[in-house]
Structure formats: C-alpha cells, structure tokens
Amino acid sequence: MEREQDESIEESNTENNETEDVDEFEGDETSRDVVVPGEVLSEDTTNFLPGRGTIFNKDRTKIISLNIGLKQIQRNYINVIPLRGFYTPRPGDKIIALVTDKNPVKYRCDINSKEEGILKPKNTVKRGKPRGFRGGAPDRDDNSTEKYEIGDILIVKVLSADRLNSPELTTVGKYLGKRRDGLVISIDPPKIPRVIGRSGSMIKMLKNLTNCNIFVTQNGRIWLKGENISHERLLIDAIRKIEKEAHTVGLTDRMSKYIENEKMKRGIN
C-alpha cells in the first residue's frame, strides 16, 4: 500500500525555487518607460542590437518594439519586457494543472497555454519502486488512469514541450502531485516574476507577513493556503495589488507597508 502514499504531505514545507525569470524584470538598467508595438526604441544600430521582444525594421535602421511592455537595455541589447502575454510551456517548469478529461490511456490537463497538457499514467507512478509484497506482479496503476479524477488540481512538471506537439507532464518529483486543500488564483503570466521578486524577496515577505504557504508557478497560477480565511483574503488582495502595479519601482517595500496597514485595519495578527 506504499503507493497510496500521499504526496501532499510535503505541502507544509513547500518552497518556491522558480526564480529564473527574476532578473529579466529587475535588471539593473530597467527603465520604467512603457513602450507599445511599433514604437521606435533606438535609431543607433551600430551600438545596439535587438534582443527579446524587439526587431529591426526592413532597412535595419531602427529598432522596433513588438509588445506592450517596459524598455530595458542590457549591455548592447535592447529588450522589451512584456506586460501582457500568454504562457508558453518550457521543459522543467513546475506548473499548476487542472484535469479536464481522462481516458484509459491519458489525462488531459488545462495548463493555461495554447495546448492542453498530456499526463500519461506511467508518469504518475514512481519508477523502480518495489511493487507489492516481494516485488510481486507489475503494478496495475502503471497502465490505467484511476489515480486522479476530472477536476483535480495537480502540481506537475513539464517533461517536454515544443511548438508542434502537446506538452507532456509528470507528477513524479518533489512537491508534485495532487492538492487536496488550499486555493488557486490566477494572474497574468508575465507578472509572475514580480510576485516572486528579486531572488525570491517578495515571496518571502508575503509568506512571513501573512503566515500562508504559497506556490507560485510560471503559468500564472498561484496555490495558497493560510491558517484561516482572513489571512488568505489578505494575501489574495496583496497579489492583486502586485499584479496591478507590476510596472512600478520599489514594489516590495510598498507591499510590506500595505500588508502591515491592512493587518491593522482588519485586526489580523
């Protein structure tokens, strides 16, 4: 009965390590200039090259923005960090998925991207684990989709993703698996790096001040669970405020002040 072991036991010490994208948002020379598609960012093409979210025009005389976002200069590259956009799965991302359909061969999961994620039953069970008494017969769960039901919230990892095939998911790994409690909110995926903050500063602050467990994922969904409903409400309000003010300076300090104030107002410790 070992395989019935509940992976969500690990929830109490859930940490967040998804801090790869932070530097993109909080680079040293991030100006807070809002640019829009088609805007000329620079006419100096000898010293600068178009980076992310930018292109040359046809004659290579101008660098043009492709997105609505913030202009950023990194060494000799000009980037635009988008303020609106959609999630594209990349291998290794830990994301929150919702099981929308299942058949005997696979689960289909809504992962907030253009394609549905595929979760095969072989990716839901640990490999090489002794099965039953003294090894015994092959596990039946290996080849059936009985572990999860439609409507379950799962934390999954992306195994493979490219432009042509649907992304493949797995629930085998640390912190992965079904969530039985807590709640999930979703925000704009490009604003996720701001919720995490520079090397996780924002998320640490949120955790300490609201006594909630948070798991922030790259597809714009945030799992959270607090001691009681008032803590959770405060955290949700704070995250909504971060989403609204994602393009401003000094966000972490302002948010900690905001939470302290709100705690006083609402009478929460």
Partner 1 sequence: MPLIIKDEYPEKLFREDGKRLDGRDKHELRPIKMEVGVLENADGSAYLEWGNNKIYAAVYGPREVHPHHLAKPDRGILRVFYRMATFSVFDRKRPAPGRREKEISMVITDCLEPVLFLELYPGTSFEVFINVMDADGGTRCACTTVAALALADAGVPMKSLVTAVAMGKIDGELITDLSGIEDKAGEADLPCAMTWFNEELSLLQFDGKMDLEEFSKCLTLGKEALTKIHEIQLDTLKKKYIEIQEELKGGENEQ
Check binding of 139 to partner 1 (CB under 8 A).
Answer: no
Per CB under 8 A, contacts with partner 1 among 70-89 are 82-86
Check binding of 236 to partner 1 (CB under 8 A).
Answer: no
Residue of 122, 244, 261, 266 that binds partner 1 (CB under 8 A) = 244
Contact at 8 Å (CB) between 65 and 71?
yes
Check binding of 254 to partner 1 (CB under 8 A).
Answer: yes
- At position 201, the amino acid (one-letter code) is S
Residue of 121, 182, 190, 220 that binds partner 1 (CB under 8 A) = 190
Check binding of 53 to partner 1 (CB under 8 A).
Answer: yes
Please give the sequence-ordered ranges of beta strands (E in DSSP) within 54-176, or none if there are none.
54-56, 63-65, 69-74, 77-82, 94-102, 107-110, 117-119, 153-160, 168-170
Instruction: Using the rule CB under 8 A, give the single segment among 34-42, 126-134, 228-236, 258-266 that binds partner 1.
Output: 34-42
Q: Torsion angle, CA of 82/87/91/94, rounded to 10 degrees?
A: 110
Per CB under 8 A, contacts with partner 1 among 157-176 are 163-164
| Contact residues for 5 (Cβ-Cβ < 8 A; gap 6+) | none
Q: Can you tell me the distance from the alpha carbon of 128 to that of 191, in angstroms, rounded to the nearest whole number? A: 39
Q: Which residues bind partner 1 (CB under 8 A)?
A: 32, 34, 36-39, 53, 55, 57-58, 64, 66-68, 82-86, 114-115, 163-164, 190, 244-245, 247-248, 254
